[in-house]
Amino acid sequence: MDEAAPEAHIVYCRSQMLLDRQKYESWRDVQVAYEDYMTSLGPWSAAEIIGFLEDDWGADDSRWPFTRQAIADFFRSGESRLVCPEAERSVLSRGDS
Protein backbone atom coordinates (compact mmCIF):
# COMPACT_ATOMS: atom_id res chain seq x y z
CA MET A 1 0.00 0.00 0.00
CA ASP A 2 1.24 3.50 -0.80
CA GLU A 3 2.26 5.73 2.06
CA ALA A 4 -0.40 8.32 2.86
CA ALA A 5 0.29 11.76 1.42
CA PRO A 6 1.28 14.69 3.69
CA GLU A 7 -1.76 16.58 2.39
CA ALA A 8 -5.45 15.64 2.36
CA HIS A 9 -8.56 16.45 0.42
CA ILE A 10 -11.73 17.43 2.24
CA VAL A 11 -14.33 15.33 0.43
CA TYR A 12 -18.05 16.08 0.63
CA CYS A 13 -20.37 13.22 -0.33
CA ARG A 14 -24.12 12.85 0.12
CA SER A 15 -23.57 10.19 2.79
CA GLN A 16 -20.43 11.45 4.51
CA MET A 17 -17.70 14.03 4.84
CA LEU A 18 -14.13 12.86 5.10
CA LEU A 19 -10.46 13.65 4.85
CA ASP A 20 -8.68 11.60 2.20
CA ARG A 21 -4.89 11.42 1.84
CA GLN A 22 -4.88 9.33 -1.33
CA LYS A 23 -2.93 10.93 -4.16
CA TYR A 24 -5.21 12.13 -6.95
CA GLU A 25 -4.29 13.86 -10.21
CA SER A 26 -7.45 16.01 -10.22
CA TRP A 27 -10.84 16.45 -8.56
CA ARG A 28 -12.27 14.19 -11.25
CA ASP A 29 -10.23 11.32 -9.83
CA VAL A 30 -11.63 12.05 -6.37
CA GLN A 31 -15.12 12.04 -7.90
CA VAL A 32 -14.53 8.58 -9.39
CA ALA A 33 -13.44 7.26 -5.96
CA TYR A 34 -16.78 8.11 -4.28
CA GLU A 35 -20.12 7.06 -5.75
CA ASP A 36 -22.02 9.86 -3.98
CA TYR A 37 -19.34 12.56 -4.44
CA MET A 38 -20.52 16.17 -4.32
CA THR A 39 -17.31 18.25 -4.14
CA SER A 40 -13.81 18.31 -2.70
CA LEU A 41 -11.18 20.80 -1.57
CA GLY A 42 -7.43 20.47 -1.53
CA PRO A 43 -5.11 18.76 -1.27
CA TRP A 44 -4.18 20.78 1.78
CA SER A 45 -1.79 20.42 4.71
CA ALA A 46 -3.15 19.92 8.23
CA ALA A 47 -2.58 23.64 8.92
CA GLU A 48 -4.50 24.63 5.79
CA ILE A 49 -7.41 22.35 6.71
CA ILE A 50 -7.50 23.79 10.22
CA GLY A 51 -7.39 27.33 8.81
CA PHE A 52 -10.27 26.56 6.46
CA LEU A 53 -12.36 25.05 9.27
CA GLU A 54 -11.62 28.06 11.52
CA ASP A 55 -12.77 30.43 8.78
CA ASP A 56 -15.85 28.36 7.99
CA TRP A 57 -16.94 27.15 11.45
CA GLY A 58 -15.31 29.59 13.91
CA ALA A 59 -12.54 29.07 16.46
CA ASP A 60 -14.38 26.49 18.62
CA ASP A 61 -13.31 23.18 17.12
CA SER A 62 -16.01 21.27 19.01
CA ARG A 63 -18.37 22.61 16.32
CA TRP A 64 -16.16 21.41 13.46
CA PRO A 65 -16.60 18.16 11.54
CA PHE A 66 -13.10 17.17 12.78
CA THR A 67 -11.40 18.60 15.88
CA ARG A 68 -7.84 19.95 15.75
CA GLN A 69 -6.72 16.88 17.71
CA ALA A 70 -8.46 14.46 15.31
CA ILE A 71 -6.79 16.19 12.35
CA ALA A 72 -3.36 16.09 14.02
CA ASP A 73 -3.80 12.42 14.96
CA PHE A 74 -4.92 11.59 11.41
CA PHE A 75 -1.88 13.27 9.84
CA ARG A 76 0.45 11.42 12.26
CA SER A 77 -1.21 8.08 11.51
CA GLY A 78 -0.71 5.84 8.52
CA GLU A 79 -4.42 6.02 7.73
CA SER A 80 -5.48 7.36 4.36
CA ARG A 81 -9.07 8.32 5.30
CA LEU A 82 -10.82 9.93 8.24
CA VAL A 83 -14.63 9.93 8.13
CA CYS A 84 -16.52 12.63 10.02
CA PRO A 85 -18.30 10.91 12.94
CA GLU A 86 -21.28 13.29 12.68
CA ALA A 87 -21.82 12.33 9.04
CA GLU A 88 -21.80 8.65 9.96
CA ARG A 89 -24.43 9.22 12.67
CA SER A 90 -26.66 11.37 10.46
CA VAL A 91 -26.65 8.74 7.71
CA LEU A 92 -27.57 6.04 10.21
CA SER A 93 -30.32 8.14 11.81
CA ARG A 94 -32.00 9.24 8.58
CA GLY A 95 -34.38 6.29 8.56
CA ASP A 96 -37.27 6.79 6.15
CA SER A 97 -36.89 10.54 5.72
Reported as a single tens digit per residue, the pLDDT across 37-70 is 999 999 999 999 999 999 999 999 999 999 999 9
Report the mean per-residue pLDDT for the chain: 87
- Give the separation between CA 53 and CA 67, rounded to whole angstroms: 9
Burial profile 57-90: b = 16 or more Cβ within 10 angstroms, e = fewer: eeeebeebbbeeebbeebbeeeebbbbbeebeee
Contacts (Cβ under 8 Å, ≥6 apart) of 39: 12, 27
Give residue-wise pLDDT tens across range 11-39.
999 999 999 999 999 999 999 999 999 99
pLDDT at 38: 97
- Give the separation between CA 6 and CA 56, rounded to whole angstroms: 22
First to last CA, the chain: 39
